[in-house]
Structure 1
Amino acid sequence: MNRTAILSDIHGNLAALQAVMAHIETQKVDRLVCLGDVVGYGPKPCDCLDIVMDFSFCVLGNHDSSALFDPEGFNAAAEQAIFWTRSQLEKRDDRQASDEGPCVSRRRMDFLCGLPRTVREDNVLFVHGSPRGPTNEYVMPEDIQNTKKMEKLFSLVPHLCFQGHTHVPGIFTTDSTFLRPDDLPDGFDVTDPDIQLMINVGSVGQPRDGDPRSCYVTFDGQHLEFHRVEYDVEQTVSQIEAESELDNFLGYRLRDGR
């Protein structure tokens, strides 16, 4: 497998995405993929989509889906943000890629409409939520105590499953362990074909593990590594404060990685 940078949960945070993209330039990767939730919460959904549209692939996240359809199970701030996001995506931009090409807004919506729920490459699965519920199911660190849930999830994992959605990075193993990035300073070897792992790559745009830095993973088929990247949090906070239809809390939480 080519050396791959795996990003997830960008959530319209352009400052974070730009910092991660700059860091990726130092990693000699062959391709970039995204595990969904390009939009939602953050103040720059269109700019983030324009970048991700050039990735090798992206899977559908629950916020991406909700930008197209009505959100389900969102709290008030998240619901308000997704309706605002939809309004941004629907704004007509008359700049044309070519005389015959569709307007930019249509290309963004078409991109979201075409996102797959899963991508599988040999024995590696890519989802947003979980192998059982690719778009919506959360797999939290505390789920290692839920034996039945974990057994069912791992029964659907071919070898490796990369996922996001919780914004909490780490590796789930079949022996009921959750390994956090701090536990893996040298990364993790995955050459044993008999092991099964679920790898949460964390969040670019809204980390929730108490570390405000963006997180992503590099993977070359044999070894994976977590990367934390600092970005200008206050820039994103200011951009959210400038949008009256976005709850300021969505910016303030970024300062604490919550």
Structure 2
Amino acid sequence: MTRTAILSDIHGNLTALLAVMEHIETQNVDRIVCLGDVVGYGPKPCECLDRVMKFDFCVLGNHDSSAMFDPEGFNAAAEQAIFWTRTQLENAGGDELADEDGITPSRRRMNFLCGLPRTVRESNTLFVHGSPRGPTNEYVMPEDIQNSKKMEKLFSLVPGICFQGHTHVPGVFTTDSRFVRPDEIDGSYDISDPAQRLMINVGSVGQPRDLDPRSCYVVMDEESITYHRIEYDIEKTVSQIESEAELDNFLGYRLREGR
């Protein structure tokens, strides 16, 4: 039985990622995958990318895309952060020793981002950043369960289960217009029925927005998915953000409240 750890929205928060990786080591997983937004907002984009590059796969997030191209629809703090992130990726400083193929770490990271797929499908399971309709950019918010036309269209594109991130709010969308939060199901949801269709938001490693500041990720096996909330040293990340003049301090302070 394959066990998969599914992470999303790391957003350059290395301290959170390392805490999650340490927890994953206790979960007997066979592989680790990422649903995008490895970078953006946070202070350690290069270090986060170096670790995600070793995962089994990663899909493209909107911040990952904006690190290569101009951002669209970003607020001022997010836009400033992504331009700073791009500078970090292009000019990694003292680690620019090329490998035997002549490729520097900076080039390797950019090549990785350029090669990220928008979707990955395995049998009846779809992995995206945003939604099955807009894999990189479309938000599916909890309140969208009130929008029957939107949900019907989205579910028409779901082969069985769709894992997604982007909103940073964990929970399970069902075809009967429910959004089930992890604390309503003791963190676990049965996915064994092959006839059901679900959209599962795995939450965020690096910037939770459900008023719980702990990192969030999911472990999937053939029977169920389980949410895990992991504490990390938030103040370390806050301090790292404060030390970068081009990153808005608010990007660190919001982490304390999970918003």
What range is the shorter-chain TM-score in? over 0.9
For the residue of structure 2 that corresponds to 1:172, the secondary structure is strand
Deviations 1:142-174 (A, max 9, x none): 000000000000000010000000000000000
Q: Percent identical across equivalent pairs?
A: 77
Instruction: Give the equivalent residue in structure 2 for 1:179.
Output: 180
Deviations 1:88-130 (A, max 9, x none): 000154223x333400000000000000000000000000000
Instruction: Give the equivalent residue in structure 1 for 2:211.
Output: 210
Instruction: Give the equivalent residue in structure 2 for 1:131.
Output: 132
Instruction: Tell me the CA shift for residue 186 of structure 1.
Output: 5.3
Instruction: Give the equivalent residue in structure 2 for 1:119.
Output: 120
Instruction: Tell me the CA shift for residue 75 of structure 1.
Output: 0.1
TM-score, structure 2 normalization: 0.98
TM-score, structure 1 normalization: 0.98
For the residue of structure 1 that corresponds to 2:97, the secondary structure is coil
Instruction: Give the equivalent residue in structure 2 for 1:31.
Output: 31
In the superposition, relative to structure 1, how do residues 186 and 112 fare at CA in structure 2: closer, same or farther (>3 Å)? Answer: closer
Q: Select between 99-108 and 42-51 the one with higher mean Cα deviation.
A: 99-108
Q: How do residues 223-238 of structure 1 correspond to structure 2 at under 5 angstroms?
A: 223-238=224-239
Instruction: Give the equivalent residue in structure 1 for 2:79.
Output: 79
Instruction: Give the equivalent residue in structure 2 for 1:46.
Output: 46
Aligned residue among 95, 106, 115 for 2:97: 95
CA distance in 1, matches of 2:139, 2:80: 22
Unpaired segments of 5 or more residues in structure 2?
A: none
For the residue of structure 2 that corresponds to 1:86, the secondary structure is helix
Deviations 1:151-204 (A, max 9, x none): 000000010000000000000000111000101215111111110000000000
Instruction: Give the equivalent residue in structure 2 for 1:8.
Output: 8
CA distance in 2, matches of 1:63, 1:176: 29
CA distance in 1, matches of 2:62, 2:17: 19
For the residue of structure 2 that corresponds to 1:79, the secondary structure is helix
CA distance in 2, matches of 1:174, 1:196: 7
Runs of at least 4 residues off by over 6 Å: none
Cα contact 2:187–2:228 (8 A) shared by 1: no
CA distance in 1, matches of 2:207, 2:37: 11
Instruction: Give the equivalent residue in structure 2 for 1:219.
Output: 220
Instruction: Tell me the CA shift for residue 26 of structure 1.
Output: 0.5
CA distance in 1, matches of 2:39, 2:223: 31
In structure 1, give the amino acid aligned to 2:71: P
For the residue of structure 1 that corresponds to 2:131, the secondary structure is coil
In structure 1, give the amino acid aligned to 2:39: V
For the aligned residues, what is the CA RMSD? 0.9
Cα contact 2:171–2:203 (8 A) shared by 1: yes
Unpaired segments of 5 or more residues in structure 1?
A: none
In structure 2, give the amino acid aligned to 1:179: V
Instruction: Tell me the CA shift for residue 221 of structure 1.
Output: 2.3
